[in-house]
Structures are given as C-alpha cells and as structure tokens.
Amino acid sequence: MENREQVLSMEDKKQGSTLENREQVLKEMYPEDILKFSENLTDGEIVVLQRVRKAVNKHLKPVINDYWKRGEFPFEEFKHVAKTGLISDPALFENQPNQFTWRNTYFLFLAYDLYKFDASIATFFGVHAGLGYFSFLLGGSPEQQMRWLPKLQNFELQTCFALTEPEHGSDTAAGLSTTARREGDKWIINGEKRWIGGASSADLIPVYARDLEDNKVKCFIVEKGQKGLSVDDIDDKIALRIVQNGNIHLDNVEVSESNRLQNINGFKDVAKVLYATRAGVAYAGAGMMAGSLEAALEYTTNRVQFGKPIASFQLVQEKLARMQANAVNALALSARLAELQERGEFSEINASLAKMNNSLRLRETAALGREVCGGNGITLERNVARFFCDAEAIYSYEGTHEMNALIIGRKLTGISAFV
C-alpha cells in the first residue's frame, strides 16, 4: 500500500494533532454520548477518528447496502480506510510505552465508529487489529513483533485468527482437533478451522493447534498460498453478510519453527489474547446501538403520518428513549472497561460482563429501531435492517451469551457449571 502521508489531503496535514472547537466537534461526532465519555480522547486521536469517518462516508457509505445484499466485501473501497493511519498514525502512540500499542480508549471509539456504520466492516477490521494483531503482539518474540507488526499496522499485510473448529467452539480450552507435529526445524499442521473472518483474503493466518508431543496449544503462522492450505467461504448467512467467514483446511502444511509464535505455549497464553480483545465485542454492541438510534431518528423525524412526523407521537418517543438509554449504558460500560485495561487490569469477569450485557441490549435496541421504522424497517434502504440482522452474530460470537453468563455465574457462586 502507498505510504499514509501520500493519501492524506492537504487539509488533513495542516490540521495535524491540534484541534480547534474540540467540544463542538465531539458533540457533532457523538450526539448520543450524553455522559461525554468521548472527552477522554486526545486531540490527535480525534483527528484520526475524523479522518477515518471521512473515508468511510466517502468510499464505503455509497456502496455498503449493495455489498451486504451480494454478500461480498468491498476490498477496493476499504483500502481508502486502511490508508488513513487508523492504527499507525504517530498521534496514537504519544505517551505510549511502544509504537505497537494504542490506548484502549482510542480503540473503543474507533470500534464504536466503525460498528456505528456497519458491523461487517467493523468485524473485518476488528479481527485484523484485534484477535489477529494481538496474537502477534502478545504471542510473538521481540524479533517476530518487529518483523510483522509494522506491516499489519499499515495494512501491507492482512491477518485473521484461526482458533474455532467445526467441532470445537465454546470448548476450545478443553482441546483442539487441529494438530502440530514437529520434525526438526519445521512443524506439520493438520486439521480444520471454521468461522474464521477474513481467512480467504488473509496474508498471514495464526493457526492455533495442539502439539502432539506435549498436548499443549501453540500458534503457527501459515502464509497465503502455502501447499496444503485451502479456504472456502461460508455462504448463505443472515448476519455479517459482507464478512468472508471461511472454512480453513490444513493438509500436511509445513511451518518453520521461526514462524511459530514463541510466547504461545498453552491455552493460558491463548486466553490472554482473548481477554485483551473480548472488550471489542462490548464496543461492538455499543456502536451498533448508536447506529440503530441514528437510523431510527433519521426515519422518524422525516416520516410523516397523520399530518406530522411520527417522532412526535408518544409511543415512538418512548421507544427512542429506551434506545438512547441502552446506547449510553453500553458506552458507559465500555468506557470503564477501556479505562481499566489501560491501567493493565485485564479481567475475564469484566470482559464477559460487558460482552454479555451489551450484546443482549443490542438485540433489544436493534429491534426497537426496526420497529419504529414500521414496514420500511425491513428494507436495506433504512439501514436498521442491517443492524437488526447483524445483532444476531454479535450476540453469539467471541463467546456466546450463555458462555459469558456462566463465566459470570462461576465468579458469583464459585461453582463452574460448564467444566
């Protein structure tokens, strides 16, 4: 890809990281943020978020419904978003410990913005910059980090996250069917992975497999086009239709020891990646609620029935008020989770609580948004239909509602109800 500086407009370059009229800018960007959590963003982060939003509106917004209908991903249009420096701009790393870790608060609002626009685009990005990126960040040696992370940051390379299998989803901690057998300085990988977002287009696939010698989970970087690797996309989905979820088949795929992530040596190491990124699904719920509310307000304030906008009717306003309450509640929970994680406090219970609550409330909020749009709410033209369908995927992925509830239940009671 071209260098980020080559694609920024002169206006963007002049703006730099100094922001005028900060309060007004945030009010316009996040009108639903009535508790003002966005005030915790730095000026530089806001500038990057503005740039991302501009690229999304210019290149993706005009085509998103058509791609959702076709079940295809807009790779060419997404390149313009990838070039905005959304995870590589120097402003994101001011006062950070290294050039690879941005602030959790920034990532919350980046995910929030993308999910507010479309869940498929955000999921594609989230798999790359979340589970995939953090596999390298937390699992790689310093040498491996320097080798791969800069190219992932600027989207020169795309990655994904290959953990889930056809027969192992919620119970992956109990064992994986995909195996790795060492032969000298190489590993032989065999097995299958399922529901892997972005698998068919990924340049680097972190494949989690069970070492036949010690029975522990390790992670191996399989590269696009390797002998023995094949990927087929899952069709006929009712949710996240734009995301290319894939079935990965691994038939005696050879991976060198240098392509094994050195700090993944058991499921506890895998769990660190999951804990660090599960908050992203909570952010998804918050962003999609805001998107549903925005679409519902757009429709109800312009749709005239009985001689006046339907937003003037009490029953409609009650539903809009519930949507607002759910959206701000989800953002509050997400903001607090981001704040704790910035302090290094990664908690399984907190991540599960936020994911469970936000995805549950998302279902309700998306349904209310579709409801106030009446019959027109089932068409793509009003956008609420996409949020309504996509909410079902958010409810189930990265830990089903039930699994997250049982994690919370285990903490409350001291009794594990599933293992």
What is the structure's pLDDT at 347? 83
pLDDT at residue 212, as a whole number? 97
pLDDT over threshold 50, residue 156:
yes
- pLDDT in the model for residue 277: 86
The predicted-structure confidence for 322-369, as pLDDT tens digits, reads as follows 999 999 999 999 999 999 998 888 888 998 999 999 999 999 999 999
- Which residue intervals of the chain bear CATH 2.40.110.10? 172-266
* Entry pTM: 0.92
| Whether 139 contacts 219, CB under 8 Å | yes
DSSP type of residue 127: I
pLDDT of 417 higher than 50: yes
What is the pLDDT confidence band of residue 18, given thresholds at 50, 70 and 90? low
Task: State whether CATH 3.20.20.70 applies to domain 17-153.
Answer: no
Say what the pLDDT of residue 58 is: 98
Residue 168 pLDDT? 74
Domain with CATH 1.10.540.10 in the chain: 17-153
Place of tokens 């402003």: 91
What is the residue-wise DSSP string for 154-196?
TTSS-B--B--BTTBSTTGGG--S-EEEEETTEEEEEEEEEEE
Express each pLDDT in 174-211 by its tens digit: 679 999 999 999 999 999 999 999 999 999 999 999 99
What is the chain's mean pLDDT, rounded?
92
Laid out side by side, the sheet with 217-223 consists of 229-233, 245-256, 186-197, 179-183, 204-211, 217-223, 260-265
Q: What angle do CA 327, 333, 337 make, to 5 degrees?
A: 140
Query: What is the four-CA torsion angle of 190, 134, 55, 195, rounded to 10 degrees?
Result: 30
Q: Residue 70 corresponds to which tokens in the numbers above?
A: 């076709």
Residue 283 has pLDDT above 80, yes or no: yes
Q: Which residues of 380-391 are buried (b: 16+ CB within 10 A; e: fewer)?
A: eebbbbbbbbbb
Quickly name the fold that domain 268-413 has: Butyryl-CoA Dehydrogenase, subunit A; domain 3 (1.20.140)
Q: Which residues pair with 304 in a beta bridge?
A: 309
Question: Which of 197, 221, 224 has the alpha carbon at shortest distance from 209?
Answer: 221
User: Where does the chain hold its CATH 1.20.140.10 domain(s)?
Assistant: 268-413
Q: Which two tokens stand for residue 325?
A: 């309450």
Q: What is the mean pLDDT of residues 56-73?
A: 96
Q: Quick one: what percent of the chain has pLDDT higher than 70?
A: 94
DSSP β-bridge partners for residue 248: 193, 231
> First-to-last CA distance in the chain?
46
Confirm if 310 and 303 have CB atoms less than 8 A apart.
Answer: yes
Among 103, 169, 145, 147, CA closest to 402: 169
> Which residues on adjacent β-strands are paired with residue 229?
250
- Please provide the size of the chain in residues: 419
The H-or-E segment that residue 309 falls in is: strand 308-309
Of the options 2.60.40.790, 3.10.620.30, 2.60.120.260, 2.40.110.10, the CATH number for the domain spanning 172-266: 2.40.110.10
CB 278 within 8 A of CB 355: yes
Please identify which residue in the block is written with the tokens 């001689």.
307
pLDDT at 12 over 60: no
